[in-house]
Structure 1
């Protein structure tokens, strides 16, 4: 059952912004366990029911299951209903395939043709990898794309080929500029992945303190969110995810630094690609998405044949630095996700809040597919990291 997911054991992201919220008591929603194969089966049944070709179903289901396996729940099963809705309303096209507009030895401009983001992303990063293997670098820019979910999925596809992968995407405006009360730019994402012989460096971050998926997940778990994540409709910080989701207003990570980083990503992904950007991207899509993305693959050995040894030394020096609290060791980006994968393997199943499972019981009834079957009811086991 774990064979397909085990190669991604180290694959993950621990950085979704730099804010370290002050802990405070939160209500905990009961959680149930779902076998990985069962989660995959349900996702595939739903996709087939809305008309997704069988040749594409496995790719999409693995993409969502691995997100939950890594603990990136905002981009896993939680996102399925959005994808199903976009497909049914034509915001993403069932029959679309990405195509190359123009290309050189090292670059390419791609039209996603409003296909689902994972299909566009896989096409683009694989194209970038192919170019990097011959030219040392592949730089691919995409327009007319869709939500790509966890960006580190694509960077990982480059890393398993021995390359460094970098991925960026713009998004609908949900992030406020410092001292603003309205959103003017997306909580745009950045992912980077490269592996050495002993260490792997995997970064996946939003430019907001936390992305909208984290707020949605808190709402699904009936939990509060720390102040400083998001604002209410009046622009004031709130701890209630229900208020934060009415008119998404996220705070940038690091104030103006996170906002400026997001602007650079939007310049490359939106302005450069010919896609929509900033407030041109509607929050409530009434037509196929036109998001922009950048996919970069780089061959480190083009510069240094001993890059992997130097990367291991680099990571080791960071990890060996003296922690302020001996009980909290220094962790590299991606280590928390590796720990979550170990946690899931110990459970032999994926933990989902019962509120989310109840939602997908309604989805199953609506689509006339077999509901998710639970491995165990009312699991109180919580991860300790």
Structure 2
């Protein structure tokens, strides 16, 4: 393992460590935003859901272009502009004191995230040899959750549900992350794979290729519903706990659930990935969808913290199955010269993140927080709608790879 870690590119380590600290500060602020809007600003569940959803809506609208532009002008320019812009957005969160201000700033938050994240993942793919990609992508995912282990607890102590001060800390961390990236690009940027506009696909061509890819398209459609289910954890569930009189301190319970989610990821990620890598690549996503759907039903049935926590563990196993193998799957499906485009296009599954807080907020407003089962059961069923698409992608990918093997054998015979 130590020998393998030595082969990880310094820029990859920068992204992994920067991701850990980035998620630490965002998880101590962003997840509490729905509670802050509901409790402090007095926003209704529907207003809060819309304000939370606008981040994902903005992200979906730009995610393809972020990855595509990085294929055209290079990862460095896109990453540096987006990360310093992101830091400015966190300052905007700290200064906001009206609902419309949070709406605008959260939209900008989604734009920056949707440009930076797929570009950074595409860079990881560029600079990592094929035999080490699974390790690097999972190191990044572990870094995400290592940050989230402590972020919610720190946020609770800082009063994130009642104050916007933690966003200033997030801004400072992202400025530091950006400065380290500047230094690392200066030291190692010349050794990066070269990219030129003449060798990159035209926008229309890129859209056509991804939309006509008979494997990628059902993956995208299926993961929209997976992300829909996942999105209820940070939006609908947070509001449900904050408003439900059955839970004395819903904000505290939610912070513990966030931390348990992250701890569980760190505990199960290695054994799950070690097992799942032997499966066909779509099988983990199928199993993950089932786990997340079942966990949502448990959240609705829970009358106290123990069943909620069990639901978090099941939800987290589903999350690991869904997202630890996602980057490797896209890397496997994507055409080598268009990886930024594919990583950007998969960001359209953020439509699920747009739908989650809006649907959850509308149902919560209509049914009230006292009817958990009636609230979460339809949300679970909507999540499960992703299964037919994932099963279709599974069959098509198997056929494609069998055809490629046959073509390879025939080509070898002709040469011999």
TM-score calculated relative to the size of structure 2:
0.24
Of the two, which has the highest radius of gyration? 2
TM-score w.r.t. the length of structure 1 is 0.25
Structure having the larger proportion of residues in strand:
1
